[in-house]
Structure 1
């Protein structure tokens, strides 16, 4: 079984990016059942059993030999093991999926880490894969598993499922986008780590700073968004744009770009189910003037309105069509901030025994460029079971942990202020 990658998927090969899903567990885990569950779902989704191979000027997906197919790996370790997995790439030519169960001392606390290459996944299908794995585990441990037939073949690329468009219209759209990008040169956040070429005290690596809101503040933020006629995505994007602006030199407003990945699955006809392992995402890039004291609600409205207008025009399909032009026009996908948002999603459902205490979705990649001196800041947003989490992945050769913690804390302070109820916002401050 073999399928040639479309030009859009070929871009992901060079990026070497991946989705890393994890869940923390408290309680006993039947490792044999979990291993069987992983083998069952990979057998039913042949994409998970593929590798990337050269094909002419591009690449193709090809089924792995039996001996090289991914299987659940069991290892010991604590919190550091998670960072090690984040820093373990999925190499071209090898399996595009990896599942690792990390067991802590005593056997009660575990972390399952599931990594999937971006060539064959996006955030929604990665989350669906994690949940399906635990669904199958629940069936196996409960004795209710029923065999499913494997898929008939590898799923078609999303770029081949788009509605028809006139080639001249797409060319005109590309010309407009290139012109817009030229009018607003992108402002990037300067690195705080000096790329002098000197050997660091310890090897540089990917680290993740995390912002997590409990259920109460998460509900408060949603309520504030509704009351103001805004989206939570707009509020988060505005808070991050303001934090980025405060890290740029010079007075006055600066034109910053907010990149918002856009899910195409639900916007195709017929829709593509979330459990189909294929990358189904495009992007919206918006240029906005931002000063250090820009009103966060007004900025959130601009972010939300811009994304809504983009979708209403159907430009998300055009963005997918012009993605093969990005290598020639790299500024088409270059933002000051990148704000992914999976929305509100459910975490895994487990049988009696183990309990899920946390779920995370973190994007990671292999290639970082400290010599560039500056880059976008990325925030991956998901609300698992009523708690909003924002993950800030970064490479320590570019942004230091202290720098990213400061940015995270500033965004958190802004969101917590927005999440306050009307009564809390108008309550007089206590005086001594």
Structure 2
């Protein structure tokens, strides 16, 4: 029993692997036995979570792991550097596509769930995390009974849900993208850590810089966005793009910035497919923008949101995936300044009896970056969870320096707080 990896999923099966991480901070003392049982129960609910990726000729396939190969909860002390070490443990080709880690502490525990992007997107990864905590509650209360074994099929890939396109339609879309790319070149942040001495330790390759607002600051930001008629996503994208502009060398002042925004296609093309279906159902929308120093964030946010909305309504995100083989040979289409994976406002997972999940964050994490490229995009994953807005900015310490990411963090934070202070009724 196996399923061939579709074209839309093939990009996740390269040498560089990515996974969706969900991290919960929990008070009250997590029961490792119950958490392991809950993780095992959720694995049984979807064949993708019990699968491996294997190569057969020129193709890749999902095939089921043997029962003895299924992942189990990994438990260790939350000692200094433990979380960073776990960030840098990729899901290897041929091994399990999901993992669970419990970092035990004195006052708080940290629980990490990871799932390979070859079988998940942001929504399904969130549902995966929530289901594990719900099973924890069910097992804890004695109300859980394992479902009867039944034949399960992997969900159909994204391509099967999209409307058919003719060669003429795809060629016309590629030509439109090429015409859109003409003009000033695209700038990306320089990799100031590349080639630095001493070498970056192997255990410190991937990390994330987090920006987090308080509940009152989040309320102010939402109120300002509503008052100005710009979406929070647009406002945040504008702040991130302005921070990228501020981090560029002066000689790139005439360059444009490009944004790649992930677009979830479930609601648009597969409304009957639940969020719990473990299959990537995302594409992206790429935009090119002139972002001068000191740009008006409201105007830039409006422009960003308007263009994104129009692109989605035109079906650009679907066409990006359907025309991918035609787009890839054109290198001028891919330079990127910002990759934005907007999680939006979501409810955090339920807290089991005796526990309190006091924080949750989620973001995609790559197994490797390429410092030899010399420059690259800022990755940002904004979300509002438990009433607090945050942005995770995962990066490689072989590419960006701590000072660079601190500067980006401070620039974006100052921009967003300035907006929150201008909200109606706010106290300056």
Asked if Structure 1 and Structure 2 have the same fold, meaning a TM-score greater than 0.5 normalized by the shorter chain, the answer is yes
In structure 1, stretches of 5+ residues that fail to align are 428-432
Alpha-carbon separation, structure 2, partners of 1:88 and 1:48: 18
Alpha-carbon separation, structure 1, partners of 2:201 and 2:423: 48
- Quote the residue 1:285 is aligned against: 286
Give runs of aligned pairs for residues 105-184 of structure 1, distance below 5 A. Answer: 105=106, 108-149=107-148, 152-184=152-184
Work out whether 1:82 is the aligned partner of 2:105. no
In the superposition, relative to structure 1, how do residues 324 and 151 fare at CA in structure 2: closer, same or farther (>3 Å)?
Answer: farther
- Quote the residue 1:233 is aligned against: 233
Deviating more after overlay: 334-343 vs 133-142: 334-343
Alpha-carbon separation, structure 2, partners of 1:201 and 1:376: 20
- Quote the residue 2:60 is aligned against: 59
Deviation of 1:154 after TM superposition, in Å, equals: 0.7
Work out whether 1:318 is the aligned partner of 2:314. no
Deviation of 1:370 after TM superposition, in Å, equals: 1.0
1:193-234: per-residue Cα shift (whole Å, max 9, x none)? 2416x5526444112110001221112212211211111111
Total equivalences in the alignment: 424
TM superposition outliers: structure 1 runs of 4+ over 6 Å: none
Secondary structure of the structure 1 residue equivalent to 2:135: helix
RMSD: 1.9
Contact residue 3 and residue 60 of structure 1 kept, 8 A: yes
Contact residue 5 and residue 61 of structure 1 kept, 8 A: yes
Deviation of 1:135 after TM superposition, in Å, equals: 0.3
- Quote the residue 1:249 is aligned against: 249
Alpha-carbon separation, structure 2, partners of 1:54 and 1:71: 24
Alpha-carbon separation, structure 2, partners of 1:83 and 1:420: 34
1:59-103: per-residue Cα shift (whole Å, max 9, x none)? 111111222111111112235211111111111111111111111
Contact residue 259 and residue 333 of structure 1 kept, 8 A: no
Deviating more after overlay: 365-374 vs 316-325: 316-325
Deviation of 1:324 after TM superposition, in Å, equals: 3.7
Alpha-carbon separation, structure 1, partners of 2:388 and 2:89: 28
1:267-300: per-residue Cα shift (whole Å, max 9, x none)? 1143421111111111111111111112111111
Deviation of 1:180 after TM superposition, in Å, equals: 2.4
Contact residue 254 and residue 291 of structure 1 kept, 8 A: no
Q: TM-score, normalised by structure 2?
A: 0.94
Secondary structure of the structure 2 residue equivalent to 1:78: coil
Secondary structure of the structure 2 residue equivalent to 1:220: helix
Alpha-carbon separation, structure 2, partners of 1:422 and 1:345: 23
In the superposition, relative to structure 1, how do residues 201 and 44 fare at CA in structure 2: closer, same or farther (>3 Å)?
Answer: closer
- Quote the residue 1:430 is aligned against: none
In structure 2, stretches of 5+ residues that fail to align are none
Contact residue 184 and residue 287 of structure 1 kept, 8 A: no
Deviation of 1:143 after TM superposition, in Å, equals: 1.1
Secondary structure of the structure 1 residue equivalent to 2:125: helix
Deviation of 1:257 after TM superposition, in Å, equals: 0.7
- Quote the residue 2:205 is aligned against: 205
1:4-44: per-residue Cα shift (whole Å, max 9, x none)? 00112111111411111110111122221111111111011
Q: TM-score, normalised by structure 1?
A: 0.93
Secondary structure of the structure 2 residue equivalent to 1:328: coil
Alpha-carbon separation, structure 2, partners of 1:385 and 1:201: 35
In the superposition, relative to structure 1, how do residues 71 and 281 fare at CA in structure 2: closer, same or farther (>3 Å)?
Answer: same
Alpha-carbon separation, structure 2, partners of 1:11 and 1:323: 10
- Quote the residue 1:411 is aligned against: 412
In the superposition, relative to structure 1, how do residues 423 and 122 fare at CA in structure 2: closer, same or farther (>3 Å)?
Answer: closer
Give runs of aligned pairs for residues 224-373 of structure 1, distance below 5 A. Answer: 224-250=224-250, 253-373=254-374
Secondary structure of the structure 2 residue equivalent to 1:130: helix
Alpha-carbon separation, structure 2, partners of 1:125 and 1:324: 26
Secondary structure of the structure 1 residue equivalent to 2:21: strand
